[in-house]
Amino acid sequence: MKVYISIDMEGISGIVDWSQVDFRRRPQEYEACRRLMVGDLNAAIEGVLEAGADEVVVADSHGRMSNLPPEEVHEAAVLIRGSPRPWMMMEGIDESFDAALYVGYHSMKGTERGVLCHTISGRVVDAIYINGVEMGEFGLNAALAGCHGVPSIFISGDQAVVEEARRLVPNIRGAAVKWGVSRYAARCLHPAKARRLIREKASEALKALDEFKPFRVDEPVEVRMRFVTSTMADVAALMPYAERVDGRTIRMTFDDYPTAFRGIRTAIAVAYPVEER
């Protein structure tokens, strides 16, 4: 069995603040948090190996996408690191995989008790709707796996992201490693306990693979994006396919989901620099 793992940083056990996930702000704290990240990852890898996985591909998917210290990642895994890359947090996903797992994920922007909640870029994106349903990074990425026929079977992060994932994939196995008190505060499981939970649930998920179906969105795909400022919508609305809906919102329709995903990424890249003045 071949397994894909996408790993972010905001949902790793013990992490509650931006300064912990940004090497420029508090280098020593970031250094410690990379170790927490690799701890959660290796627990998930051990879990899937226990359940019969023989190939594991890991996509380091936070920030510049080179957070994991390579020599500390379980040697069973092939590591995809660095950016930019076309499929971002899902780089390398294709039909050859049997399952996709998400480690260290966070909830969509605006979630109550969602630790470090945001959707791709907190500076730029207020909300993204796919066919009328608001989606965070889990949904956007799980739909990409679904295009390749790959089911999404496991997620770890805070309680809020586990609940968000269950709304789209009701039987997804979840490991909640912290409970948000606010966006920047949480009650955290000890990392050793978090890792045990991740290992157990990841293993349980892969053993139950038969009960999962790929998460797919209907095509053609209608994307609505609400930006943080109207200037961002001003420039994003210049893109072919884009249509202005209101001050901060654009709408785009695409024939298939991978193209919609590229449209979302491009709109963010176009909008990102416009408030730097």
Which positions are catalytic? 118
- Shortest Å distance, C-beta 104 to Zn ion: 8
- Interface with Zn ion, residue 40, by CB under 5 A: no
Q: HSE-up of 79 (CA within 13 Å, CB side)?
A: 20
- Interface with Zn ion, residue 17, by CB under 5 A: no
Two structure tokens written together for 212 = 């999962």
Which contacts qualify for 196-200: CB closer than 8 Å, 24 or more apart? 196/43, 197/156, 198/40, 198/43, 198/44, 198/47, 198/103, 198/156, 199/43, 199/44, 199/46, 199/47, 199/50, 200/47, 200/175
Toward Zn ion, which CB reaches closer, 107 or 249?
107
Write down the residue that tokens 């936070």 correspond to: 62
- Interface with Zn ion, residue 34, by CB under 5 A: no
- Shortest Å distance, C-beta 169 to Zn ion: 20
Among 95, 98, 215, 101, which residue's Cα sits nearest to residue 153? 101
Look at residue 258 and give its three-state secondary structure.
helix
- Shortest Å distance, C-beta 132 to Zn ion: 26
- Interface with Zn ion, residue 109, by CB under 5 A: no
Please tell me whether the peptide bond between 191 and the residue prior to it is cis, using omega within 30 degrees of 0. Answer: no
Specify the stretch interacting with Zn ion by CB under 5 A; choose among 5-13, 71-79, 164-172, 262-270: 5-13
Look at residue 10 and give its three-state secondary structure.
coil
Specify the stretch interacting with Zn ion by CB under 5 A; choose among 7-15, 72-80, 169-177, 189-197: 7-15
Toward Zn ion, which CB reaches closer, 10 or 98?
10
Identify the residue among 3, 5, 6, 8 touching Zn ion (CB under 5 A).
8
- Shortest Å distance, C-beta 160 to Zn ion: 15
Identify the residue among 39, 41, 51, 62 touching Zn ion (CB under 5 A).
62
Position of minimal CB gap to Zn ion: 62
Look at residue 111 and give its three-state secondary structure.
coil
List residues binding Zn ion (CB under 5 A). 8-10, 62
